[in-house]
Each structure stands twice: as C-alpha cells, then as structure tokens.
C-alpha cells in the first residue's frame, strides 16, 4: 500500500509544516491529557498513528499524558473465563473476581500494549496505575437509583476519585518519559477500584493544569439534531443541548467530565473522532477541526 504522505508535493509538505509552527510555539512546555479509547485503541493502523502522534508531540516539546480505557478487552477476558458481565444503569458491577480481571487486563495487557507501541514509535513510555506513587486515591462509588433516589445500588469495587497526587506523573515528564495511566485507584484499606477512564482523564487534566484534555471517541464529536458536527460549544449551549435531548446516553458522562475540566482551569477540552488517522495531531497542530471543542467561556 502506498503511503499517501509520499505523494504530497514538497511545496505542500512545507506549507503543512509551516502551519504547524505557531501551534508548536504556543503549546511548547504545556501538558496535554489524552483519553485513549474507541476504534483508535483496537484498529492496528490507528494504534500506530496514535503512538506516532504521541511521540511527535513529545519531540516538539509538548507533554502528553495518556489515560486509557479497556471496556471491550475486559468483556472479552470475562467471557474467556465463562463470566458474564452485569450492568446497573450502564455501570459494570465489579465483584472481587471481576476486579482481578479488570486489573490484569487494564494494568497488564492493555497498558503494556500501549507502552510498547509508543516505545516502538521512538518514545519512552512508562505505565502507571493509581497505586504508583499514590497517584489515585479512591472510595466506593455510591450509585443512586435513577427512578428512586432513596434507593442505592451496590456496584462492587467501582470507585469515585477522592484525590490525585500528580507527583509521579510530573517526575516522569521532567525525565522526558510519557506516562500511560490505567484508571485503577486504591482505597484506605489498600483495596482496588475500577474508575471510569473519562473521569480519571478529566480529573488528572485539572490537577495537572493541562492546556488541553483530548478525548478520543468513536463519533465525529457532538452533533446537532440534524447530525451536523458542532465544532465549538460553550457551557450555556451544552445545557440547552442536554435539555432538548440532543446530548444523551453515553455522551453525557463525557460531557460532564469535559465541563468539570473546563470549569477547573483546563483551557480547552476536545472530543475527537478517533477513527480519523492522526486526528489528534491535526486537531492540535492545525486550524482544521476534527471534533468538538468545549471552553468554559
């Protein structure tokens, strides 16, 4: 298969590089937290594109921090063990046996695949869980029934974040490493908790005072009623879209995390179509929009 980049005329290549220069200058030394999931995480060609993008960001002086999910991989592993996943209000019930599977899939298989891909692309990635350096302290998630708020569901070892200590992430960044974080926290009794990766990415971006939070998804971004991409949204516009049902289902947790991060000092949150090759790099280093940008104001 011919590499399309090789077919670009030299003048056009130079123009592309020149357009990237102001963005490289603007974001040099800044931290960007990337939530890695969806097709970008399972398609081999997109996996390689992602790894190359992360390495390039690091090489031009930007500090990427990767937070990954792994729902489909966990489901596959549970099926191999003959265990069926149980969900309450869209949340996986995580008993002790399931938590063991979650840990070895996320912190073992998935994390190490990502670390290997980044290292193969020329970077220096290091895998972390919430235990490493006391990164993510968590508590048991209290889930109230959507129909009856007086009723509480027990979803096992699913966690809510108590606090994040970014010291280990900052130390790795200072030594030119690329941190790859699995969304696993630990509690007061050293128990493990499975935490939503979108929530971890948003909170980590806030604590690190990141320039951007980039969330790779399986959709083009936030769409209006006519399925047109909304390239930029304010808080007021998001409230209206949720009220009229335009934003619903699985997009709501992503939007909630994006809003929290934007309100807490992250300059911009981008919900990006991870199915587009190099979409993350194009979003950061060009004028072209490959998703929806959310700002606090």
Among candidate residues 226, 169, 193, the one with its CA nearest the CA of residue 33: 169
Neighbours of 121 (CB within 10 A): 18
Q: Check whether 70 is labelled as a binding-site residue.
A: yes
Neighbours of 296 (CB within 10 A): 15
**Cα gap 100→104, rounded to integer Å:** 6
The conformation of residue 151, written as its DSSP 8-state character, comes to -
* CA triple 14-18-22, angle to 5 deg: 165
Among candidate residues 253, 166, 255, the one with its CA nearest the CA of residue 205: 166
Between strands 192-194 and 184-186, the pairing is: antiparallel
Q: Check whether 194 is labelled as a binding-site residue.
A: yes
Binding residue ranges: 70-71, 92, 194
Binding residue ranges for substrate: 70-71, 92, 194
């Amino acid at each position: 298969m011919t590499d399309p980049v090789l077919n670009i005329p030299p003048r056009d290549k130079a123009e592309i590089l020149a357009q990237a220069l102001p963005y490289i200058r603007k974001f040099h030394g800044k931290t960007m937290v990337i939530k890695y999931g969806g097709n970008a995480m399972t398609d081999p060609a997109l996996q390689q594109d992602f790894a190359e993008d992360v390495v390039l960001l690091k090489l031009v002086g930007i500090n990427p921090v990767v937070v990954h999910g792994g729902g489909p991989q966990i489901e596959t592993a549970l099926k191999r063990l003959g265990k069926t996943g149980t969900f309450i209000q869209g949340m996986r019930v995580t008993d002790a046996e399931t938590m063991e599977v979650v840990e070895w899939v996320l912190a073992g298989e998935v994390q190490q695949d990502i670390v290997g891909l980044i290292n193969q692309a020329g970077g220096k990635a290091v895998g972390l869980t919430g235990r490493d350096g006391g990164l993510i302290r968590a508590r048991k998630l209290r889930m109230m029934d959507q129909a009856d708020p007086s009723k509480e569901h027990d979803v096992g070892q699913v966690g809510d974040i108590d606090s994040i200590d970014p010291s280990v992430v900052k130390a790795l960044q200072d030594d030119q490493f690329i941190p790859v974080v699995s969304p696993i926290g630990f509690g007061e009794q050293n128990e493990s908790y499975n935490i939503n990766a979108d929530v971890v990415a948003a909170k980590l971006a806030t604590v690190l005072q990141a320039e951007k939070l980039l969330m790779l998804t399986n959709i083009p971004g936030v769409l209006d009623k006519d399925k047109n991409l909304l390239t930029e949204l304010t808080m007021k516009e998001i409230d209206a879209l949720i009220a009229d049902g335009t934003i619903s289902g699985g997009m709501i947790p992503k939007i909630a995390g994006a809003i929290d991060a934007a309100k807490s000092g992250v300059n911009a949150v981008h919900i990006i179509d991870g199915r587009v090759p190099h979409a993350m790099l194009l979003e950061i280093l060009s004028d072209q929009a490959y998703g929806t940008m959310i700002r606090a104001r």
